[in-house]
Amino acid sequence: MPTALDAAKAVRDRFGEKIGAPVVFADKVTGRDEVTITVPRENIAVICSFLKGDAGCAFDYLVDICGVDNYDAAPRFEVDYLLYSMKNGGLLRLKVGVPESDPTVPSVSSVWRTADWHEREAYDMVGIRFTGHPDLRRILMWEGYPFHPLRKDFPLEGKPSDVPGVAFTQAAPLDGGPFVTTPAEHAAGREPRIRTNALPDDVRDKTGGP
């Protein structure tokens, strides 16, 4: 039975060296077995069609599409596609780099109908536009909202906005609330729970918390 790794190699054989080498993550305890490949954004739709329709791959289930903001990196944005084969099992992740100067990616809604809402969410929250999408509207925020809340430069308290006759937002005073992180040298020290007694003293001391 073909595996996700076999499918990744088949994509590379079919579409050439522009396809990144497969990266395998396996965990014997949980049974998790994932393969990731990086693909050119201009080829994403045809590669997805190949993976779904080829009898040896049969990735017929689109689990998710995620927009990612790799702030201060190049390319800044990324779209991740998580595919599953009901026939063969195994998970295959496709990664597509998206430059900030042109945050567009071809839609795969013609391959999987469920891509419709996934792509709308990535557009709404991260600002990545999917060319060829049949109805690319915001799905959580209202039409005309000028920002994309899951971008790394979007502040936790939000930004003020005003769309007359539709809606408005104001920055929310956080005042050190439970979801506000704090500066710390260690990542664990930035966790909101570090400011409580939820962690032992020796752990809290190492993370830089109070």
Phi/psi region, residue 86 (left: phi>0; alpha: psi -120 to 50; beta: rest), is alpha
pLDDT for the residue 184: 64
Q: Which residue has the tokens 């920002």?
A: 147
- Domains within the chain, CATH numbers bracketed: 4-140 (3.30.460.80), 174-210 (no CATH)
Closest by Cα among 147, 82, 142, 88 to 108 = 82
pLDDT digits (tens, 9 = 90+) for 34-47: 899 999 999 999 99
Residue entry with tokens 């006759």: 165
pTM above 0.85, yes or no: no
Q: Is the dihedral of CA 150, 169, 161, 175 positive or negative?
A: negative
Residue 210 has what pLDDT?
46
What is the pLDDT at residue 207?
Answer: 45
Q: Does the pLDDT of residue 81 top 90, yes or no?
A: yes
**20-67 residue pLDDT tens:** 999 998 777 766 678 999 999 999 999 999 999 876 789 999 999 999
**Percentage of the chain with pLDDT > 90?**
60
Q: Round to whole Å and give the CA distance between 210 and 84.
A: 45
List pLDDT tens digits, range 165-182. 888 888 877 766 666 666
pLDDT given for residue 29 in this prediction: 72
160 C-beta neighbours (distance < 10 Å), count: 9
Query: Which tokens in the block code for residue 175?
Result: 């005042």
